[in-house]
């Protein structure tokens, strides 16, 4: 009886030790991966996860900005001063900047567009109202494809 119990206990202990070692190895590998991602600046600002709608900004629009290329840096500097500008991308092709804005209502959108148009060097804008986000910002498919 007691030899059998001792043998079963020893087997259970060996199994638990193997499981612990597997978990520790997985935790070390995950920590190393997260450290590499952090080192490579893969983690962006927490602000990307905040929904502007509960903050009072239900309108989302995209503004294509045409400008004098030689003063791009000063235009971007002035755009950054407009709180409703949540993101801007420099583009190749006929549009110079693609600006994402959030606004309280359409009158607010008109004001924001006017603020952009008043920046020295901005020649014209084309505004498109977002009718809805069809594919939310995502990276999970890329993370799932990425090597460990």
Chain segment 60-111, per-residue pLDDT in tens: 999 999 999 899 999 999 999 999 999 999 999 999 999 999 999 999 999 9
Q: Over the stretch 4-50, which tens digit does the pLDDT of each residue have?
A: 777 887 888 888 888 888 888 888 888 887 788 788 877 766 767 78
Per the CB < 8 A criterion, the answer to whether 99 and 79 are in contact is: yes
pLDDT at 3 over 80: no
pLDDT for 148 beyond 70: no
Distance from C-alpha of 15 to C-alpha of 21, rounded to nearest angstrom: 10
Conformation bin of residue 66: beta by default, left when phi > 0, alpha when psi is -120 to 50: beta
DSSP 8-state assignment for residue 15: H
Question: DSSP code of 147?
Answer: -
Structure confidence by residue, pLDDT tens digits, 107-146:
999 999 999 999 999 999 999 999 999 998 888 898 888 7
Residue 75: name the closest of 86, 93, 90 by CA. Answer: 90
Burial class (CB in 10 A: 0-12, 13-18, 19+), 127: middle
Distances (CA, A) of 114 to 6, 89, 122, 127, 139: 82, 19, 11, 11, 34
- The burial of 126, by beta-carbon neighbours within 10 Å (0-12 exposed, 13-18 middle, 19 or more buried), is given as exposed
Examine the pLDDT at 147 and tell me if it is beyond 80: no
**How distant is the alpha carbon of residue 62 from its chain centre?**
17
């Amino acid at each position: 009886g007691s030899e059998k119990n001792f043998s079963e206990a020893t087997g259970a202990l060996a199994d638990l030790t193997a499981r612990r070692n597997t978990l520790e190895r997985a935790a070390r590998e995950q920590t190393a991966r997260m450290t590499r991602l952090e080192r490579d600046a893969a983690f962006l600002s927490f602000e990307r996860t905040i929904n502007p709608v509960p903050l009072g900004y239900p309108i989302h629009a995209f503004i294509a900005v045409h400008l004098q290329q030689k003063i791009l840096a000063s235009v971007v500097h002035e755009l950054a001063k407009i709180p409703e500008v949540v993101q801007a991308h420099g583009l190749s092709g006929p549009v110079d900047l693609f600006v994402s804005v959030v606004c309280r209502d359409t009158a607010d959108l008109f004001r924001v567009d006017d603020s952009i148009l008043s920046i020295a060097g901005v020649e014209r804008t084309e505004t498109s109202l977002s009718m809805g986000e069809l594919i939310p910002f995502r990276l999970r498919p890329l993370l799932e494809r990425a090597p460990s």
